[in-house]
């Protein structure tokens, strides 16, 4: 009699998470501090995120690395200027709010469940160490994360393979036994191409990217992960 194939996630010893857009809501800064943008707020927030990602890719290709704080500032400057808003005080306020982004509501309890099951938990992010420390502390995730890893240790952004290798080296766990999660489709594909077992958190029903990388599961929220791992 036929049986369901075993989940590729059940052999995982560690769960590694992207930070921005995956654990932390990147649009919460403008929701909390962009009231003076009025009807432009959503457009500015989307453009800020779009340029933030584009600049990481372009700087990696140009061998012109700066840390994610600078990238985030440059992309916000672009988004505000493109909307006709040149306001230095607003720029400063939104950058400060980016240090305390809201975590998605299911994140803390899900990470706690993974830790209680004996899995290693870690962040692997484009963010620099100071940004990540501030966000993790603000969201109260310190106790449910074993490590917080930044691309600054390799000096290039995702999806470069050296970034994903950083998790293998620091956790001392084979890549096939690392479950990786990202809400960014390109990051999920990049991690899968590297060799992680990947679940894409497709929170907003995005179209899948047409690039290499075999994603093993697509979920809508982080709390859909434990069943994939064989946890109740």
Instruction: Pick the catalytic residue from 4, 18, 146, 209.
Output: 18
**3-state secondary structure at position 116:** helix
**3-state secondary structure at position 126:** coil
Identify the helix (H) or strand (E) that includes residue 121.
strand 120-125
DSSP 211: S
Distances (CA, A) of 202 to 79, 199, 205, 217: 24, 9, 6, 10
Residue 71 token pair: 């990238």
Strands 197-201 and 147-150: unpaired
- CA–CA distance, 70 with 48 (Å, rounded to integer): 13
Active site residue 18: yes
Q: What is the largest CA-CA distance in the chain?
A: 67
CA torsion sign, 130 to 31 to 188 to 70? negative
| Number of alpha helices (DSSP H) and beta strands (DSSP E) in the chain | 9, 6
Catalytic residues: 18
């Amino acid at each position: 009699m036929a049986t369901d194939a075993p989940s590729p996630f059940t052999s995982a010893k560690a769960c590694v998470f992207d930070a921005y857009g995956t654990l932390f809501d990147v649009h919460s800064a403008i929701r909390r501090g962009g009231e003076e943008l009025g009807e432009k707020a959503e457009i500015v927030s989307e453009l800020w995120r779009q340029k933030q990602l584009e600049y990481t890719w372009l700087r990696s290709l140009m061998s012109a690395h700066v840390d994610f704080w600078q990238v985030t500032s440059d992309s916000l400057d672009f988004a505000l200027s493109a909307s006709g808003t040149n306001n230095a005080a607003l720029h400063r306020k939104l950058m400060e709010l980016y240090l305390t982004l809201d975590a998605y509501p299911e994140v803390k309890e899900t990470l706690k469940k993974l830790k209680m099951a004996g899995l290693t938990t870690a962040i692997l992010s484009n963010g620099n160490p100071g940004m990540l420390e501030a966000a993790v502390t603000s969201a109260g995730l310190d106790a449910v994360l074993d490590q917080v890893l930044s691309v600054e240790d390799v000096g290039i952004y995702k999806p470069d393979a050296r970034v994903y290798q950083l998790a293998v080296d620091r956790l001392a766990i084979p890549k096939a036994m690392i479950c990786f999660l990202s809400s960014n489709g390109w990051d999920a594909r990049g991690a899968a191409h590297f060799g992680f077992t990947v679940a894409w958190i497709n929170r907003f029903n995005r179209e899948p990217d047409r690039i290499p990388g075999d994603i093993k599961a697509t979920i809508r929220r982080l709390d859909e992960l434990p069943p994939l791992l064989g946890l109740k």
